[in-house]
Every structure is written in C-alpha cells, then in structure tokens.
Amino acid sequence: MRSLLTLPLCALLLTAAAPGQEASPVSRPSYDPCAADQFQWSKLPDVLPASPAERETWAHALALDAAVYGGLAVAQYWQMYAQGVDTKDPDYTGFNRFHHERRLAYPGYKAFKTPNVDTLYSNAWLDLTGGPVLVTVPPMDTPSLDKGRYFAFNLLDAYGNASNISTRIQGNGGGTYLVATTDWQGTVPPGATLFRVTTPYVWVLLRIKANDAADAKRVAKLQDAFTLTPTAAHDGPAPQFPDAADRSAIGYFRMLDFILRANGHPRSEDALVYRWHGIGLAGPKSLDTALADPAIRKGLERGHADAMKVIADSVTQAGLHLDHWRSPYDAGRMGWNYLERTGLMIATGANVPTENYAFVTYVDADGDPLDGSRYTYELVQTPPPAKYYWSYTPYLRENRELIPNAAQKYIINDRTPGLKHEPDGQLRVVLSAVRPKGVAAANWLPVSGAPFVLAIRSQGPDKALLDGTWTPAPIRKLGPVR
C-alpha cells in the first residue's frame, strides 16, 4: 500500500477555498497507517453479499459511483477511438499524428462540443506506452505572420486533467519537448525539454489564434510546422480496445475498465478504485467474470442509468456561481470533484482557468432559460480583461454545438470588425434570431429560434479575472420575438 503522505502538494491544495467561497472547517489531516506500529492490511478481497437482491443493490451503488467517476474519461475515449483506433472513421489518423482543421469551427463540428471560433484546432492522440514522444513547436513570431501569435499545445490526460505548452507559459520562441509519463526513466535528447504527463494515452488539442478565414490560411503553415515523433514503438501485445460504438451500460463499463487498466489512476485514488474490483473494474477479476452473475449485471445496468440521470441534473451546477453566470473555475483541474468533472462529457477539452478563464450562462437576468425563439436579449458590459483575446459564443443548449444561421456568424470577439462601443466604453451585444433595426451588424449575435447558452472566453486572463474583480453582467430581455 502506498503511503498517503506521498500526496503531492497539488493534491493537498484542493482544500483551498476559491474566491468568494466559504473556507472549509478545520479537520484533522489524513494519516499514513503504514507509519503506525503493527498496522496490517487485509490479504483477501472484500466480500460480496450472499443474496442476489443484495448483490444487485451493492453492485448498483458501486456502478453508480464508478460511472460518475469515469464519464469524462469515457467521452474522451470515444474521441480517441475515432481518431486513433477505428480505421473506418473519416477522421482516423492513428496515434501520434495530427488531424489539422483548416477552417474555424462551424455548426456540426465533429471533433468535440463547445468549440471556440477564435483558433484553428489540431487534434492528436499520443500513445506513450512504448516510450516518450518528441514534440517540435515552431517559433510563432515570424516575419510573415503577426508578432505575438497566441498558441496553446494543450495536453489532456485520460481523465481530462490539463497542462500546456503555450505562449503564456513558454513564450513564442519555439522549442523541442520530450513528452513522457511520470514513471519514464531514460535520457532526454540534447536540446529537448522534458515534459511529464500522468497517463500514457494523452489528447493533444492544439489551438492557434486565427483572426478570420483569410488568416486561417496563414495559420495552416504554423499547424504543419508542429511535429510529433515517437521515440520507441509499443513493445508487447497490441491493446484490445473496446468498441466505442457500444453505448450500452455494459459497453460504458468495458471502456472504463480499459481506461483504468491502460492508464492507471492517481495514487490518492487507490482505495476508491479498489472498491470497484468486486464488479470487475481494474482488479484481479475480469469484467466478464463479474457479469456472469446476473445480479451484478443488473446492478451495473441500473447504476449506470441512475448515474446518467444524476449527471444530467448536475451539469448546470458546475463551477463558481456568479449571479446568473457560472465559471467552470476548476475546468482541467477537477481533482476529486468527479461529478463536476463528468459534467464535462458534453464539453470535452476544457483548459485550466489560468489559460482560459471562461463563463457560461443558461439564463437571463430574470432567471428564465435563454431562448432565441421567445425573446431578443442584450448584454452590456466592458469586455473581459484578457491578454490574448476575448470572445462571446452562443451554443444550442441541447447539444452545445454552434448555432446555424443565415449570416454564418457564430462569435463576437476582440477582432470583430466594426464593433461599436457605448460612450462609457461598454460594449452592447444584441442576441436574437433576426437582427433588430438600428443594431449594428457587428454588435449582433444570431441565436436562431431555439434555447441556447452563451459562453465568454478570456484567453490569458488578467488579474481582475483571476481574483474575481471582473465578473460578467446579466443578460437582459429586450422584448418578445414578434
């Protein structure tokens, strides 16, 4: 058993209160039982209830817990399978290879939900099971491109924990990085910087700022200059990846079992994962062996169904609550907040707030759901203070996709031509299905005739964002749709 005293400082800091939040009551800290005299651990696996009814109840409880834990990991697995495993998928590249998007995101964008329309995306899945991957980052300040071009080479582990090689952290001078797991031991090539990640399967979500469609063509050259070079091939039997097309409860747990076995889990979660061994997850007993018991199978199916209800009911509760807005304050760093983490199943790829401080709202100033089929709205405020860019982007509430509209306009940002500011410097943005008379085209955001959510992004957030000084204004109704 690993000592709990080996928890890193980053885990211990989970007890720190967020801005505006109540400090935690004082509690005695956790202890290391191995430091006690004569403390012993059990040698046998935990028991199972004797009756089928109670085994089903027991399996239901564990399955609900495991399904909540693994939701974001499973959603990322669906994406990994499509790009890295399924040779029949149109977006298949295999592992350690980029799929470059050559245009800004659009309605129906397939790679993931809630895409921004500020950057060009490149997706890759790293397979570090054989060894590290060498990453080449080109200089971003070149004579043919704008000086200070923002980029973020965002690495997300199998559970959605984010880290970055970016303009904000490393600057725009370019470089070579050896991406390796925390347990890798070897020699770093000359001129390369070692960059540690937690799991052997890692999603790379590269974002490079693009001003418009014409600028995107220039950015494509930068995308091609990023390279991924494996340093060693996978040694051993080929992994048996579960079919991501199986969206049943049992398929869900097959994928979660693979994720846990292939990637491991944080040391601080040993006891949590140990509890799931009895239902066949990540333990000495296989999932198929556990499923041979009809009571356990039924418990898993019921637990999964109830977990999906709990998750759906919790999505809008995530993050810091700021009047009618919510900030996904812990996106990319959710630690043990598994329910909040799994709420991101519908919006994978979230980065840490120090890179992108975001806000989202589902309601207007009256607390009513935002609905472009019923009302016209306005948002009046000073734009968020961000070093690299800010933007407002609406999405369909039902699926978090960009909203189709005849104007083909999906965003207002700091680069939108012709934006008109109020005399006091504030920006008034009108959200409606049809542009009202007298409203400048630049200041109008089409929201079609459907319920929607609005996201605010602040890339490279200023201190006023990080300390809670700047917060968004409520969205107000201008009047009903006529």
CATH number, residue 112: 2.60.40.1610
Contact 377, 430 (CB under 8 A): yes
Out of 173, 197, 230, a domain closes at: 230
Domain extent for 177: 99-230
279 backbone dihedrals φ, ψ, rounded to 5°: -105, 15
Closest CA to 331 of 104, 160, 198, 106: 160
Report the amino acid identity of residue 78. W
Cα–Cα dist 189/179, whole Å: 12
What pLDDT was estimated at residue 315? Answer: 84
**Cα dihedral 120→161→227→182 (10° resolution):** 170
Round to whole Å and give the CA distance between 246 and 97.
Answer: 25
Beta strand extents in 410-451 (DSSP E only)? 412-413, 427-432, 444-446
Domain count, the chain: 2
Q: 198, 230, 262: which is the final residue of a domain? A: 230
Cα-flanking dihedrals φ and ψ of residue 475, to 5°? -85, 130
Residue 199: name the closest of 165, 229, 156 by CA: 156
226 and 336 share one domain: no
Query: At residue 124, what are phi and psi to the nearest 5 degrees?
Result: -150, 150
DSSP secondary structure, 91-111, as one string: T---TT--EE--S---TT--S
pLDDT at 18: 62
Looking at the structure, tell me whether residues 225 and 346 fall in a common domain: no
**Residue located via tokens 């005293």:** 5
Are 332 and 472 found together in one domain? yes
DSSP state of 461: E
On whether residue 108 sits in a domain, the answer given is yes
Q: Are residues 335 and 473 in the same domain?
A: yes
Whether residue 420 lies inside any domain: the answer is yes
Q: How far apart are CA 385 and CA 211, in angstroms?
A: 18
Does residue 306 lie in a domain region? Answer: no
Residue whose pair of structure tokens reads 């994406």 in the numeric block? 79
pLDDT recorded at residue 24: 66
* Separation of alpha carbons 60 and 369, rounded Å: 34
**Are 111 and 225 within one domain?**
yes
**Are residues 354 and 470 located together in one domain of the fold?**
yes
Q: Is residue 71 part of a domain?
A: no
Strands (E), 316-382: 320-322, 325-327, 356-361, 375-381
Q: Residue 7 domain-assigned? A: no
CA geometry: angle at 165 spanning 164 and 171, to 5°? 130
User: Considering the domain boundaries, does residue 264 fall inside one?
Assistant: no
- Residue among 52, 1, 64, 46 at smallest CA distance from 284: 46
- Whether residue 360 is found in the same domain as residue 471: yes
CATH number at residue 460: 2.60.120.600
Residues 206 and 215: their CA atoms lie apart, in Å, by 17
- Alpha carbon of residue 479 to chain centroid: 35
Sheet holding 427-432, edge to edge: 444-446, 427-432, 375-381, 476-480
The segments of the chain whose pLDDT lies below 70 read: 1-24, 142-147
Give residues with Cβ within 8 angstroms of 265, minimum separation 6.
Answer: 159, 272, 273, 282
Q: Which residues contact 420 (CB under 8 A, 6 or more apart)?
A: 428, 440, 442, 443
pLDDT value of position 7: 42
* 338 & 475 share domain: yes
64 belongs to a structural domain: no
Secondary structure class of 227 (helix, strand, coil): strand
CB 458 within 8 A of CB 403: no
Q: Helix, strand, coil: what percent of the chain each, to 5?
A: 30, 25, 50
Which of 204, 230, 256 terminates a domain? The answer is 230
Kindly tell me the number of DSSP H helices and DSSP E strands found in the chain: 10, 19
Alpha helix ranges (H) inside 124-193: 167-170
Where do we find the tokens 């509690």? Answer: 27
Q: Locate tokens 């309605």: which residue?
A: 107
Residues 226 and 331 in one domain: no
Return the number of other C-beta atoms located less than 10 Å from residue 146's C-beta: 14
Please report whether residue 262 resides in a domain: no
**Is 348 found in the same domain as 450?**
yes
